[in-house]
A and B are shown apart, each in its own frame.
Chain A
Amino acid sequence: ETGVTQTPRHLVMGMTNKKSLKCEQHLGHNAMYWYKQSAKKPLELMFVYNFKEQTENNSVPSRFSPECPNSSHLFLHLHTLQPEDSALYLCASSPDLNEQFFGPGTRLTVL
């Protein structure tokens, strides 16, 4: 399998739930990203990992917790989210911290 994959593609959760989003890339890239895409707003960069080390946390609330166990996998752990956190969450990877390759996204709905 090639490219960037994300699971699940759709997720509905309550505000008290704990869930995780998974991203996997088989491109041999060393940098991985989480973005939030809300309706009518530009993509918001959330986190950047380079060689498994977090290099960017763009003032993201602590109810979002990223994890990067290796260069091929990236997780976003979610807990006690708010309805305004409902959005499309996109994962991307990059060979050089410039050009980025995106996954299909996870559509998250918080009730």
Chain B
Amino acid sequence: AQSVTQPDIHITVSEGASLELRCNYSYGATPYLFWYVQSPGQGLQLLLKYFSGDTLVQGIKGFEAEFKRSQSSFNLRKPSVHWSDAAEYFCAVGADYKLSFGAGTTVTVRA
């Protein structure tokens, strides 16, 4: 079965600074990979996805993620964070028609 690990429970970053969220997965074959964002009291919004092809994928809100097969990782990055990026971020791996989610990383943005 597939699994996802997000090693960082909470990250605090200054507005305008860069952000990187880590995600490691476990799955025997090439998985489908996703990053979702959840603002307080809201559902999950898809930021980006990787199915195949170019290992650097661009998403919405200026986010990008890089699939590294050798490291079983799919880290999310943003060059310059905005206060509105404060939220919880979930990495997910899709396999066997199901998504398995990591425990999430809470991002706090300080002025």
Contact = CB atoms under 8 A, between A and B. Distances in A.
A100 B97 contact: no
Interface in A27-80: 31, 40-43, 45, 48, 50, 55-56
Interface in B60-111: 90, 94, 97-99, 101-104
Interface in B2-59: 32, 34, 36, 41-46, 49, 51
Given A42-B104, A98-B32, A101-B46, A48 B98 contact: yes
A42 B102 CA distance: 6
Contacts of A40: 103
Interface of B is mostly: strand
Given A98-B32, A105-B43, A42 B101 contact: yes
Contact of A98 (B41, B94, B103): B94
Interface residues of A, number: 24
B42 A43 contact: no
Interface of A: 4, 6, 31, 40-43, 45, 48, 50, 55-56, 90, 92, 97-105, 107
Given A92-B44, A97-B98, A102-B43, 6 more contacts: A42-B103, A43-B90, A45-B98, A99-B32, A101-B46, A104-B42
28 contacts: A40-B103, A41-B103, A42-B101, A42-B104, A43-B90, A43-B101, A45-B98, A45-B99, A48-B97, A55-B97, A56-B98, A92-B44, A97-B97, A98-B94, A99-B32, A99-B46, A99-B94, A100-B99, A101-B46, A102-B36, A102-B43, A102-B44, A102-B45, A103-B43, A104-B41, A105-B41, A105-B42, A105-B43
The 4 closest A-B pairs by CB, nearest first: A97-B97, A102-B43, A102-B44, A43-B101
Interface of B: 32, 34, 36, 41-46, 49, 51, 90, 94, 97-99, 101-104
